[in-house]
Amino acid sequence: MAQVTLRRIVKEYEGGVQAVKGIDLDIADHEFVVLVGPSGCGKSTTLRMIAGLEEISAGDIAIGGALVNDIPPRDRDIAMVFQNYALYPHMTVYDNMAFGLMLRKFPKAEIDRRVKEAARILDIGMLLDRKPKALSGGQRQRVAMGRAIVRDPKVFLFAEPLSNLDAKLRVQMRTEIKKVHQTVKTTTIYVTHDQVEAMTLADRVVVMNHGVIEQVGPPQELYHNPATKFVAGFIGSPAMNFIPCRLEQSGSALQVQLPGGAALPVPQDRTARYQAHLGRELLFGIRPEHLTEVRPNDHRENMAVLEAVPEVVEPMGMETLAHFWIEGAEICARLDPATPAAPGRKLPLAADMAKMHLIDPKTNKVL
């Protein structure tokens, strides 16, 4: 077990494509870190560089305090779970798990003990004599994890391990992975493009975009205090609404002037923070869950009412999503399913202004 440190890591592929543009990251011992981002953002490349499967073009990688830039994968003491499992088809489940230990010349009894233990943790004891071909996707995934666990490495690397599973199994395996980490506590770096996976699994989430890190932080921190427009829009589902606005003075307080004519008061405690941007064209950001139906006798602090005419109403069961447009910006609100919302019918919405964000459209930073 060990900490992992990345210093100004750059990866330039042949032809000058910069997949990773100088990232810094410190991962503590026992930590579960998830790299998340849209397709092509460089998260797989980063993971493969940590594994040693990809050479780094510049920068330093240290595992457990030791520089590993030029150390081949076999000597980095890491284990990796691949997206399509990469089990050895000619070996039984037992041999697949034992292979790494066999190469490292562990005594037979110790290998046996570790394989049986991992099989117990993952509940695959009855599969040990089978070949991978005779396993279901979920079982293969468990074997791939078992192969990592038996090694007891310094670091676990997961490369989108759940994306080949169906939705139900994915949720189940997600829990499984979390449970395994709570049991063995090995430092883990996990790559996914699924933000729900990232939020549920991570101690800290690393949001990447275009080869750079946008923000690093615990899931709640990213959700409540995104640093950039990208993170604000990427984390959370349905995504945060962005509405072009102007910041104006209204008495002693500030207000957000929306294009449709509506003006929403900014909470008092944000006045100092936003004062410098008075009069500027900004982006008003608010999550769908903070844009709800107006409840009778609703006297929440910092609540602003916004008139809307939904164009699409989607009942989801536990909630109803209402979509409407303000000057070309699509807005989504999450309503209680009991709300009588219908397309084309006027609907007053309550915006929880304590949860608002203002974004500078020039820098895309959250103010």
Partner 1 sequence: MPSDASAALAPGRAPASAARSSSLRRFARRRSTVAFLMTLPLIAVIGGLVAWPASYAIYLATLNRRMTAFIGLENFDILLENETFRGVIWQSCFFAITAVLLKALIGFWLAHMLHHIPSKGQRKWRGMLLVPWVIPPALSTLGWWWMFEPSYSSINWLLNAFGGPSIPWLGEPWWARISVIIVNVWYGAPFFMIMYLAALKSVPDQLYEAAAIDGATGWQGLVHVTLPMMRNIISITVLFSLIVTFANYDIVRVLTNGGPRDLTHVFASYAFQVGVLSGNIPRGAAVSLFMFPLLAVVAFFVLRGVNRRQKEMA
Ligand X SMILES: Nc1ncnc2c1ncn2[C@@H]1O[C@H](COP(=O)(O)OP(=O)(O)OP(=O)(O)O)[C@@H](O)[C@H]1O
Q: Which residues bind Mg ion (CB under 5 A)?
A: 44
CB of 245 to ligand X, least distance (A): 32
| Residue 362 binding result from partner 1, ligand X, Mg ion, none, given CB thresholds of 5 to 8 Å by partner type | none
Q: Does 63 bind partner 1 (CB under 8 A)?
A: no
Tell me the window of 36-44, 81-89, 225-233, 344-352 that interacts with partner 1 (CB under 8 A): 81-89
Q: Is 74 in the site for partner 1 (CB under 8 A)?
A: yes
**CA pair distance 334, 323, nearest whole angstrom:** 9
Site membership for partner 1, residue 231 (CB under 8 A):
no
Q: At closest approach, how far in Å is the CB of 189 from Mg ion?
A: 13
Residue 332, SS3 per DSSP: strand
Piece of the chain touching ligand X by CB under 6 A; list 36-44, 66-74, 170-178, 276-284: 36-44
Binding flag, residue 43, ligand X (CB under 6 A): yes
Q: Whole-angstrom Cα distance, residue 219 to residue 21?
A: 24
Residue closer to Mg ion (CB basis): 39 or 182: 39
Structure-token match 């349905």, residue found: 238
| Pick 130 or 277: Cβ nearer partner 1 | 130
User: Does residue number 72 form part of the binding site for partner 1 (CB under 8 A)?
Assistant: yes
195 binds, among ligand X, partner 1, Mg ion, none (CB under 5 to 8 A by kind): none
Q: Is position 39 an interface residue for ligand X (rule: CB under 6 A)?
A: yes
- The distance of closest approach from Cβ of residue 68 to partner 1 in the complex, given in angstroms and rounded to an integer, is 13
Does residue 19 bind ligand X (CB under 6 A)?
yes
Nearest distance in Å: CB 133, partner 1: 6
Q: Using DSSP bridges, classify how beta strands 78-81 and 155-159 pair: parallel, antiparallel or unpaired.
A: parallel
For the beta carbon of residue 179, count every other beta carbon within 10 angstroms: 12
The residue within the footprint of partner 1, chosen from 1, 71, 86, 367 (CB under 8 A), is 86
Q: HSE, CB side, 13 Å, CA atoms: give it for residue 300.
A: 19
Binding residues for partner 1, total number by CB under 8 A: 26
Angle at 223 between CA 192 and CA 299, to 5 degrees: 150
Query: Residue 288's binding partner, choosing from ligand X, partner 1, Mg ion, none, with beta-carbon cut-off 5 to 8 A by kind?
Result: none
If one asks whether residue 17 binds ligand X (CB under 6 A), the answer comes out as yes
Cα distances (angstroms) measured from residue 225 to each of 7, 219, 287, 367: 25, 10, 12, 10
Measured between alpha carbons, how far is 264 from 260 in angstroms, rounded to an integer? 12
- CB contact set of 89 (below 8 Å; sequence gap of 6+): 131, 132, 133
Please check whether residue 143 is in contact with residue 97, taking contact to mean a CB–CB distance below 8 angstroms.
yes
Residues pairing with 366 in the sheet: 359
- Dist CA 185 CA 126 (whole Å): 25
- By CB under 6 A, is residue 348 in contact with ligand X? no
Within its chain, how far is the Cα of 21 from the centroid? Answer: 20
Q: Does 147 bind partner 1 (CB under 8 A)?
A: yes
**309: nearest Cα among 295, 288, 323, 289:** 323
| Single-letter amino acid, residue 223 | Y
The amino acid occupying position 12 is E
Task: Provide, rounded to whole angstroms, the least separation between the CB of residue 69 and partner 1.
Answer: 16
| 142 contributes a contact to partner 1 by CB under 8 A | no
Identify which range of 21-29, 71-79, 200-208, 353-361 contacts partner 1 by CB under 8 A.
71-79
Q: How many CB atoms lie within 10 A of CB 359?
A: 22
Q: Segment near ligand X (CB under 6 A), from 42-50, 55-63, 275-283, 286-294?
A: 42-50
Q: Is 359 helix (H, G, I), strand (E, B) or coil?
A: strand
Distance between CA atoms of residues 6 and 24, nearest Å: 5
- Report if residue 106 touches partner 1, rule: CB under 8 A: no
**Interface residue list for partner 1 (CB under 8 A):** 51-53, 72-74, 76, 78-80, 82, 84, 86-91, 99-100, 103-104, 131, 133, 147, 151
Residues that bind ligand X (CB under 6 A): 13, 17, 19, 37, 39-45, 193
